[in-house]
Amino acid sequence: MDSAYNRLIELGIRPSIQRVAIMKYLLTHHSHPTVEDVFLALKKQLPTVSRTTVYNTLRMLSEYHAVSMITIDDHRVCYDGVTEPHAHFFCKRCEKVYDFEAMEMPKYTGKIGEGFRIDDTQLYYKGLCPKCLAAMEAVEKVS
């Protein structure tokens, strides 16, 4: 059986053709796509899929913790099929999001207040990726 299909079943989500395709895309593309990225990629194989369907499905998958919604960038929301704890790095120049899966995630052990429950924790770093940093340094050497 397809791992995307099985993941939806395990979470109690009815596996429609569109939901399975979207889940499969996120499990196989670790590029932290936006709604538009997923829509354009799936439009080729599912000509009847709409942006609204992709948007609503990604929101629903996020609510079920099947995918992570990444809001590291002020201009867009990205999605990640990897739900195991890991950090993200956002390059402020090329705007790519990178995973840091091997990093040890900090664990909050203190109380945040009476009656609060933590459902999600995300760790983001922002800066320049190696490629953009090298490009900027090359320009500075020429100047």
Q: Which residues are annotated as a binding site?
A: 91, 94, 129, 132
Domain ranges of the chain: 3-142
What local confidence, expressed as pLDDT, does residue 76 receive?
A: 87
Q: How many Cβ atoms are within 10 Å of 78's Cβ, its own excluded?
A: 22
Q: CB-based burial of residue 3 (10 Å sphere; 0-12 exposed, 13-18 middle, 19+ buried)?
A: exposed
What local confidence, expressed as pLDDT, does residue 107 receive?
A: 66
Q: Which residues are annotated as a binding site for Zn(2+)?
A: 91, 94, 129, 132
What local confidence, expressed as pLDDT, does residue 113 receive?
A: 76
What local confidence, expressed as pLDDT, does residue 85 receive?
A: 81
> What are the per-10-residue average pLDDT scores of the chain (143 residues)?
89 95 95 96 95 97 93 88 87 91 64 76 89 90 77
What local confidence, expressed as pLDDT, does residue 2 receive?
A: 85
* Half-sphere CA count of 79, side-chain side, radius 13 A: 29
What local confidence, expressed as pLDDT, does residue 105 receive?
A: 62
Domain covering 3-142, topology: Arc Repressor Mutant, subunit A (1.10.10)
